[in-house]
Amino acid sequence: MNYVMSFVIGGLFCVIGQIIMDKFKLNAAYILVTFVVSGVFLNYFGIYDKLVEIGYSGATVPLPGFGNSLAKGAIEEASKNGFMGALSGGVMKTAPGVAAALLFGYMVAIIFNPKKK
């Protein structure tokens, strides 16, 4: 059941992205920014946690899930360390994903050569 719900919710997120892309002819960067920011605020209003309960990885793997982690980290740390927590919490919580992308990106750039177009 987790797998089915992951598939459905994750797929729906991508459909929303696709509709925005096709209808408004927006560059992918705008969609990604919108998704992350909406993930942050949906978490703040307590909606994203419910979405994760329903959609499992379908809610955490898409980019709003990244925003969700950002907000979660910022709010958690803020409750412990105040202002400094709000400043560092989001970065801390999402550091593994960002660092991994950076690390793997650099390694791939060293190993591979760009495909000729």
Partner 1 sequence: MKYNKESYKKVIDEYTPKNKIVKNCFMAFIFGGAICTLGEIIKNIFVSGFDVPKDDAGVMASVVLVGLSALLTGFGVYDDLGKIAGAGTIVPITGFANSVVSPALEYKKEGLVLGTAANIFKLAGPVLVYGYLSAFIVGLLSLIFK
Name residue 18's amino acid: Q
Binders of partner 1 among residues 29 to 48 (CB under 8 A) are 29, 31-33, 35-37, 40-41, 43-44
d(CA 101, CA 99): 5
Binders of partner 1 among residues 71 to 110 (CB under 8 A) are 71, 73-75, 77-79, 82-83, 85-87, 89-91, 94, 96-98, 100-102, 104-110
Binders of partner 1 among residues 1 to 20 (CB under 8 A) are 2-3, 6-15, 17-19
What is the closest distance, in whole angstroms, from the C-beta atom of residue 18 to partner 1 in the complex?
4
Burial class (CB in 10 A: 0-12, 13-18, 19+), 61: middle
Count the neighbouring beta carbons within 10 Å of the beta carbon of residue 94: 19
Q: Is 51 in the site for partner 1 (CB under 8 A)?
A: no
